[in-house]
Each structure stands twice: as C-alpha cells, then as structure tokens.
Chain A
Amino acid sequence: MRVQLQVRRRARPRLKKIGGLIVGGLVGTLAPAEPGPDFATDIAPIIYQNCIDCHRPGGIGPFSLTDYPAVSRRARQIAEVVEDGYMPPWKPNPHRSPVLIGDRSLPPAAIDLIVEWAAAGAPAGDLSSLAPPIVPTQDWALGHPDLIIDFPAAYELAAEGHDVFQNFVLRIPLAERRFVRALEFLPEASLVIHHAVIAFDATPQSRQRDEADPGLGFTSMDRGRASTPNGHIIGWTPGQVPYEVYPGTAFELTPGTDLVVQLHLLPSGKPERVSPRVGLYFSDEPPTRSGFVALLREHVIDIPAGESAYPIREEFILPTAAAVLGLYPHAHYLGRDLQIYAEPPDGTRRWLMHIPDWDFNWQSDYRFATPLELPAGTKLVMAYTFDNSAANPRNPRNPPERVRGGWSSFDEMGEVAIQLLLSDRSDLPLLEEAQARYLIDSGEKSADTFYNLGLALDRQHRFPEAISPYENALRLDPTNAAALNNLGGIYERLNAADRAIPLYERALAADPALTVTRLNLAHLFQRDGRTVEAANVLRQGLALRPEDLPLRLALAESQIAGRNAAGALVTLEQGLPWHHQDPRLRFHLGQIRLVNQQLEAGLADLQAVTNLSLLTDGSVDVAATNLIRGNAYFALALLAQQRRDLPEVERRLADCLAVRPHHRDALLMSAGVAMIQDTPTVAIPHLVGLLQLPPDQRPTEDEVLGIMPFPDGVHVWAQALAATGQGDTAREFLARHAAEARQRGRPEWGELMESWLREL
C-alpha cells in the first residue's frame, strides 16, 4: 500500500495585484516573500512518489518523468492533467469509500504546488541536493512467482479502431491441486493494455469459445463461466499493486483449469504486440475462510436520446453478516455518476464508493485496506446515472440515439461486483441462495441461475426445495449434466432410486466424463443387485478415462461383490501403468492376488504399500497414508499367522499399531499373541487400548475371551477393566465367571478367580 504523501505547505504571503501595483511591495509591511516551489525541493518528491511507477524507461507511461529536464519540458501539461484529475488515473471520490489499497489520488496541496511551480516557469532549484529517484524495476514486485504463465504468442492489436475486449485462454501447467495466495500481472511495457480481468475456468467453455473465434483469444466483454474461486475479484490497471488474497482465503486451482485473461485494449496508432505475463504464488495453506462475490446488475436499461441523467438503482440484502473486501463497478460509455453504498439495519449509510465522473477507459477493481464489516440484513445499493446527451464528451453517438442494455460496449450496462468475506463458511450457501433469488427476481432467468439456486438449497440440505430450481434449469438446458446429476442425487437421498437412475443416465449421456455420476449410478445398480449393469457403467467410464482410480477401484469392488475375483484381478492389474506407486491400488491388488492364490505377488504388493505414500497436492497425506499402511501391516500379520511365524506376526502388529494406534483388530490380535507367549503384562495395555475405543468399536466380552486362553484371559480382561476405571464391572465380571466355573464343576478355577477378585 502506498504511503500517504505528506506535502510540505509553506505559509507563503499571498501577493495581491491591484491595478498593476503589488500591494505587498507598496506597503512594505510583509516579510520578504519566500521563494516559490522549485523542482528539487517541492516537485521531485511528488513526481517520484506518484508518477514514475508508470512514467519511467520501460514503463507503461508514454514518456519518462525521472529527471528535471523531462519534467520541466512538460510542466504545463503536468499541471493541467493533475489539476483536472486526469493524472494520476484515479476515479473514486476519496471521501466516499473506506481507505483503498493503492490509492493514486494526489492530495490537493500537491496539486497546488505543481500548478504554482509550472506557472512560475518550472524552476529547477538546487538540483545538486536532489537524490536520483529509486526507479522501480520491471521485475515481479512480489518476488519470483512459483508459476509463470506466458502467452503462447503475442496478440497483434491493430493500429487503430475501437477499443477491444479480448479474452485469452491460457493452459495452467499443474500436476496437482494448488492454493493460490497471490497473483501478479506484468503488462510488459504495453501502453495499450488499459485494464485486465483475471479469471479461471475449470469447465471447457472458455476453451471452446477460444477455438470458435479465429486468432489468439476471443472477443467478448462477457467472461461466461470464467470466474475466480472463493469470491476473489482480480484485476489490473496501470499502477495497481499486485493481488494478494486476504489471509485465510487462498483459492484452489485444480489441474485442467484454464487461466482466462480479459484485456481491455486501446489501439495506440501502431500495430502492437501484446504479450503480458501472469505470475502465480502458491500457499500450502488451504483456505480457512470463504469469500463470495455479490453481483448487482440492472437488467432493464433503455435510455432515451438526449437524456442527461438516466437513473438506475439495484438493491441486494445480505442474508448474513459479511465484510466487504473490495468491489468492481462497471458501466459503459454513458455511465456518468456511480454510487455504491451499504445501508445497515440501523438506518445509517456507509459509502463503499462514489465515482462522480465515470470513465469506461479507466475502469478498475478496488480493494479496501481493511474489511468493512456489515451486519446481516444490510442493504447493498447501487445507484448510477447515465448521460446520453450530446454534452457527454464520451457519447459514442452524436447526435445521441436511444441506447439499451447489452454486452457490446455500445450498449449500456450497470453492475457492481462486491467482494465479501464471510464470518462463517456455512454462510456461503445462504449468500448463494440470496444471489440466485436476486438475479431471478430481477429478470435473469437463465439455466445457470436456476442451477445455482438449486445448488445453494442442495448445500443447505433443503432437498425437496431444490427440486424445482433444478427442474427449471433443465427445462432451459435439458443436457445440463451437473443439474441432472444433482437432481438425481436428491431423488437418491429421498429414496426414489427409480427417479434417480434415469437422471444419472441422462447426465452421463450429456457428459460421459462425469466420474461422480458414474459412481452414483453404479452404486444404485449395485444396491439393487443389478451387478452386471453396475460393472458396465464403470467399465464404460474406464474405457474413456483409464487413469481414473476411483472408477477402477469401484469396478473391482463391484466384481468382488459379484464373486468375480478373476475379473477384479484383471481390472486392478490393468491399472498398474497409472497407479503403480499408488498405495490404494497396490493394497487392493495385493488382497485380490492373495484371493487368486498368487501368494508371492500379493505379499509383494502389501509389502510395497508399507513404503508407498498417498500424495495429495504433491505432498504426502500423512493421515490417509497411515490408514492404508496400517491395513497393509495388519494383512501381513494375518499372512504371517497363516505361516505360523509368530515373531513376524508380532512385528507386523507392532508396525500396524505404530501408524494406527487404535486399529481395533490389531489391538485384539496383539493381546492374544501376548497371552500365547505367556506375557500378560504385555497384553494388558492392548486391552486397555480396546476399552478406550469409541463404544461402537469396542469388542464384546465374548470376542475378547474367544482369542484368549482360559482362565488367564479372564484375569487380564478384569485387570484392563479395572485399569480403565471400571472396577465395579471388573468385580462383577470376575464374580460371574467364578460362579460359572463352579457350576461347570471346576471349583479350582472358581477359587482362582475369587482370589483375583480379592486382589482387585
């Protein structure tokens, strides 16, 4: 964030001219006038702090302002553009928003100084006292990015013509999921890039639009399905500081997601090669907080020719408390006065932004230095006016003509995207619901909007309510695979498999690559005993995506359930080219090989699992790895037991408990082994461990005694019960077994147990 400039304002006597005579000089009562501002003392600090980010060699400004000759030659120009607010480019009214990050506005005192200096002939002052400016480099401001995405080729912008909105769809080379904590855009010294919007598209839509449009990128102001995850609004305008996420709101990028860069380009008079770069900075921290973008948009715009103040107003009520992090107002050429504010339930007004002289060519997103907290029930208001008169110097038409709403820049638009930070992640579906209902109520009855409403209700587990919006979405877009899948999911939850199955089938017909739908459908078939159909659905999926492990494991499982061990073996073996290093495949393969009497190969698989790790996002998922390794160790212990290799059994059980201290069967078996080896003191901690498991996992008394030698097993179990604070249960247990022993004619055991009872 830029430090606010402190301008030294001198107390300078104002000399009034009356009839050509200088009063001060005439009367002679004033102290000798202090000299006016000069470059070295007054002007250089302002220029160096506020202008040379862009106006430097290699910068995006058209000329450099890094020394006195360059600045003084343009003194008159500079004075004029700072006075009328054209430079530095900064449109918001500073008194009608929270403090904004990267505020480029000049304080009025600085403007006065520049104007005064230019009028006085731009004096140099003592240049020898002036340190040269620290000129920013063209490098990444946030340091070298973790991933740099370059354009595959430069985009050729024609020398002249209208401004262009060009969307570039760039592959992100990601092998695994990553979390993005910052993003930097380097325009690469291009004067023609006025504004960039950065978005991501996990769907193929942007690629398809790109392919349908000749040349690099596609031309549109509508970014379609491209958006930014977790409610971020990421843009770039000249001089804007790079985007860093609010702490805890890193956003997820999954492999296959495309970067979509929308550039607003203004021809420069010569053909330009545009090739900016985007740097991504990753974090190991998944997001802990949720963000959301509230979109307010006027859907009905119809501005008569000559109308100089056509108003629009939109309201969106926050269903939950939220904090505003930033916003992106948007209108086209006729936008004039843009006001965005919040009205909390207490009736006050909190300004979010006021742009009194909207300029389409200097549109930008804005971020607040600190989040603005708003309570639930706050009304977000967008109130804009449009000027379609001949007096509007930006009116594309002269004489003016009637203008209506639309996506072309010659149509009009009025919207604002407001970036919200939620206090609780569970608030997200409430906001999604409110947003979808707002859009539907204001006329945006599209398949996507109905789908979003269905999804928001679905996420709140309001399943019956979600049915109608999903059905509306499908009425408008019958092959919307996500809507078909989700509606199927709702019927499945409502125990109406007969309705769910055809919906899943339609979803797969629309998008055969949907693994989730395939798993859902196969699961329903399997549950109904339609094993062959389940296997077929999964097999078709694997034919399309042989690298899909969940599909492969599900198919093997379905084959095992159908008692087709040989088929499951083939299924799993065919996965080796992709998943040789994946412990999940190797574990199941090892087990199925054992079932198929391939003992050595199966043993080798299980041994391999104990050295393999499960990777998530490129790093070891310790919990999941330990889970599967524990299972492998236990399976190896069972195999050793079959071979009657007691030391190996002991070793493997110890390995298992080292990674999974609460593995129930390993605890049980370890206790049994200790008793066989006549080491009851070793058995007791295992039994204690079993007693400390959650109630539903605790073994029954019969289970425990079943693997223990009698009567010593009774003794150690009673000791374990006593050790876990269940003395009464232990005494009752011993008394009962003593009585039983006497009944069965074994008084010596009865005596023994009664002696243990006394010892307790």
Chain B
Amino acid sequence: MRRLIYLLIGVLFGIVLVKSEAASWFRIYEMFQFKSFHMYGMIGSAVGLGIIVTYVIKRFNIKSFFGSEIIIAPKDKGFTRYIVGGSIFGLGWALAGACPGPMFALAGAGFFPILLVIAASIFGTYIYGLLKDK
C-alpha cells in the first residue's frame, strides 16, 4: 500500500515537472538569462507555500499519516561544500538543462539521450564518493 502511494506521488511529480516545462532545457536556459518570470514564479510559489506548510507542521506538531511526529532534519552547517558543490551542480544543470528529478521525467517522455545524462550523473556521484574520504 505504501509503495503504491510512493509511486503515485512520483507520478504526480513527474507530470508536474513536464507540464510546468521545468524539465525543458529551454526553460532552464531562459531562467539563467533572467528572461522570464516562469521558473522564478514556480520555485518562488513552491518555496513560499512550503515555508508556511513547514511552519504549520512544526508549530502545531502535526502528525504524519501514520500518527508519528514529522521530523524535518536540519542541514549540516558549512559553507564551502555548499557554495562549491552548488556551483558545480549549477554548471551541469545549465549544460544538460536537467536536474535529478526532471532527468527521469524526460526519460519517461522519450527523450532518450537523457539516459546518457543520467548514467553520467550516477558516475559523477560515484566519483564524489570515491574522493570524499581522500
């Protein structure tokens, strides 16, 4: 049952990614050129509403579907890894025009060269893991 719910949440997310055009290479380019409000409106409204949802859950101690406390883990403190890692990610996001969610939506949409991007991103993650403790 839980698995079906995860699958349906994913289906909803995938549909939203392609229908919002957030998975379009062109929209990402346009966003980095500051030529349209579209992506900013989308991310902005998602975050604005997300801040309210997150606040309400914490403030009123709202329970999960299974009756437990909802724990939202804070991110580890730091600066360098976020700015450097983030910039590396940004270079790739703009070049491939896709981040990890949209990549998979594009595979489903039938843009098969994206499979190269996915394979390379898995490899990139592997290389990060390899270098992390060195």
A binds B: no
